[in-house]
C-alpha cells in the first residue's frame, strides 16, 4: 500500500456561488457541524506523518472560513505545499497579504466564462469583476496563478475567448475541465453535456493554443468522460494517492465518494493513519480483487481500475459495476443514450438549469 501525497481539505461547503454543475453533496445540511481550527490542525499533522506533501484547501468556498489563514500557516509550518482553490470572492487585498505572510504557495481561481454577463449568469451571482481583480492581485503578490474553467454546453464554444482572458491575466496554468456529472451536474446533465461537434471544435482550439503557448503557459484540457472509450483512472486508483476530508470530518478516497453507501470514517473518531490503512471505506475498492467481469480479466484493469466508483453507482445503482463510460461495460448504453440526446439536432438551444442552493454560512 502506498502513502498518499495529496490531501484535499474541504474546509466548508458554504459558498457565495450557485453553479449548476457543483459536485458538492446535495444534502448540505448534513455538513453544518464543521471541524474546528484545532481539529484541522490535528488533521494536517497526521497527514504529514502519513506522507502527504500537498494540501489543497477547497470547499465550497474556503475563504468563508475565518480561520483559513491560520490553517494555511499551520500547513506551511509542517512543510506542506499549499494551494488555495477559490472562487476568489473574499480574496481582499488584506486577506491576500495575510495568506502570503502565512506561506500560501499557490492560488487557483475559478472563472465561469470569458466575460461578465455569461460568467455571472452561470455562477448565479455577480462575481466576474471581483474574480478578475483577485486574479490580478494574485499576480501582483507573486503567486503562481491557475485559472480553472469548468466547461459545458453554455461556455465551451467560447473556449478561445476563455484562453485569451487567461493570457491577459498572465495565468501560469489553465485548467479547462469539462463537467464531471456528479451532484448538481448530474441533475443538470441534459442541459450541460456538450455535443460531439462542440467537443471536437474545443479540442482543435486547445491544440493550437498549446502549441502557441508552449513554454509559457500550461494548458490542461480534460474531456468529458461520456465521450471517452475508456474511463479515466479515478484518483489514480481508489485509496492509492490522495484523500479528501470533508467539512464535518468524514474522510473519503475521492471528493464524490460521499454519494456511496459505504461505512463512514471520521477524523473525529479515528486517526487519519488508521482510516487510510484500515477503514472499510478505503479498503472496499482498493486494488483489483473487488472487480467483476469484464474488468477482472481486462488488460486495462491496472490502468483505469474499472473507472469511477461514484459514477458507476450514480448511473447503475451498484458501485462495484464497471464504469458505464467504458465501451466494454454491460451498462455502456446508459452513457450512449445520454450522448445521443446531447447530439440531437432538435435539442433546444437553451434548457432550464437548477442552480446549486445557497447553504447557510456556518462560521
Which CATH number covers residue 45?
3.20.20.70
What is the pLDDT at residue 189? 94
Q: CA 284, CA 280: separation in Å to the nearest integer?
A: 6
SS3 84: strand
Position 361 scores a pLDDT of: 42
**Total domain count, the chain:** 1
| 193 in Cβ contact with 152 (< 8 Å) | yes
The residue segments making up the domain with residue 277 are 1-362
Which residues are known binding-site members?
A: 15, 19, 22
State how far the Cα of 161 lies from the Cα of 197, in Å rounded to an integer.
18
Annotated binding site for [4Fe-4S] cluster: 15, 19, 22
| pLDDT for the residue 359 | 52
CB atoms < 10 A from the CB of 219, how many? 18
Give the pLDDT of residue 235.
84
All residue ranges of the chain with pLDDT < 70 are: 349-352, 355-363
Residues near 127 by Cβ (< 8 Å), separated by ≥ 6? 16, 17, 87, 88, 89, 112, 119, 120
d(CA 254, CA 313): 14
Instruction: State pTM to two decimals.
Output: 0.93
pLDDT (tens digit per residue) in 192-242: 999 999 999 999 999 999 999 999 999 999 988 999 999 988 888 999 999
CB 321 within 8 A of CB 312: yes
Q: Helix (H, G, I), strand (E, B), or coil: what is residue 105? A: coil
Q: What is the pLDDT of residue 363?
A: 40
Q: What pLDDT score does 64 carry? A: 96
Amino acid at each position: 500500500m502506498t502513502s498518499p501525497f495529496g490531501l484535499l481539505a474541504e474546509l466548508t461547503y458554504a459558498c457565495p456561488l450557485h453553479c449548476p454543475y457543483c459536485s458538492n453533496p446535495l444534502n448540505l445540511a448534513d455538513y453544518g457541524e464543521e471541524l474546528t481550527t484545532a481539529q484541522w490542525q490535528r488533521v494536517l499533522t497526521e497527514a504529514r506523518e502519513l506522507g502527504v506533501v500537498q494540501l489543497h484547501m477547497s470547499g465550497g468556498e474556503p475563504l468563508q472560513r475565518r480561520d483559513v489563514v491560520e490553517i494555511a500557516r499551520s500547513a506551511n509550518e509542517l512543510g506542506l505545499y499549499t494551494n488555495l482553490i477559490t472562487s476568489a470572492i473574499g480574496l481582499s487585498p488584506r486577506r491576500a497579504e495575510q495568506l502570503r505572510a502565512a506561506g500560501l504557495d499557490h492560488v487557483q481561481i475559478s472563472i465561469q466564462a470569458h466575460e461578465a454577463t455569461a460568467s455571472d449568469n452561470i455562477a448565479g451571482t455577480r462575481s466576474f469583476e471581483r474574480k478578475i481583480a483577485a486574479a490580478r492581485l494574485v499576480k501582483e503578490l507573486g503567486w503562481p496563478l491557475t485559472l480553472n474553467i469548468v466547461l459545458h454546453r453554455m461556455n465551451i464554444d467560447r473556449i478561445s475567448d476563455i484562453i485569451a482572458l487567461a493570457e491577459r491575466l498572465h495565468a501560469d496554468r489553465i485548467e479547462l475541465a469539462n463537467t464531471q456529472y456528479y451532484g448538481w451536474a448530474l441533475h443538470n446533465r441534459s442541459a450541460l453535456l456538450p455535443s460531439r461537434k462542440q467537443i471536437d471544435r474545443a479540442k482543435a482550439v486547445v491544440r493550437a493554443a498549446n502549441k502557441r503557448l508552449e513554454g509559457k503557459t500550461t494548458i490542461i484540457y480534460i474531456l468529458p468522460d461520456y465521450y471517452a472509450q475508456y474511463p479515466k483512472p479515478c484518483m489514480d486508483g481508489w485509496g492509492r494517492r490522495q484523500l479528501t476530508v470533508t467539512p464535518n470530518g468524514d474522510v473519503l478516497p475521492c471528493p464524490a465518494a460521499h454519494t456511496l453507501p459505504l461505512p463512514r470514517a471520521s477524523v473525529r473518531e479515528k486517526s487519519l493513519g488508521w482510516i487510510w490503512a484500515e477503514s472499510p471505506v478505503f479498503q472496499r475498492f482498493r486494488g483489483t480483487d473487488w472487480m467483476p467481469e469484464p474488468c477482472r480479466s481486462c488488460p486495462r484493469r491496472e490502468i483505469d481500475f474499472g473507472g469511477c466508483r461514484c459514477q458507476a453507482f450514480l448511473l447503475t445503482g451498484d458501485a462495484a459495476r464497471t464504469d458505464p463510460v467504458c465501451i466494454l461495460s454491460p451498462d455502456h448504453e446508459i452513457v450512449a443514450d445520454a450522448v445521443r440526446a446531447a447530439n440531437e439536432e432538435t435539442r433546444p438551444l437553451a434548457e432550464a438549469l437548477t442552480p446549486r442552493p445557497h447553504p447557510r454560512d456556518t462560521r
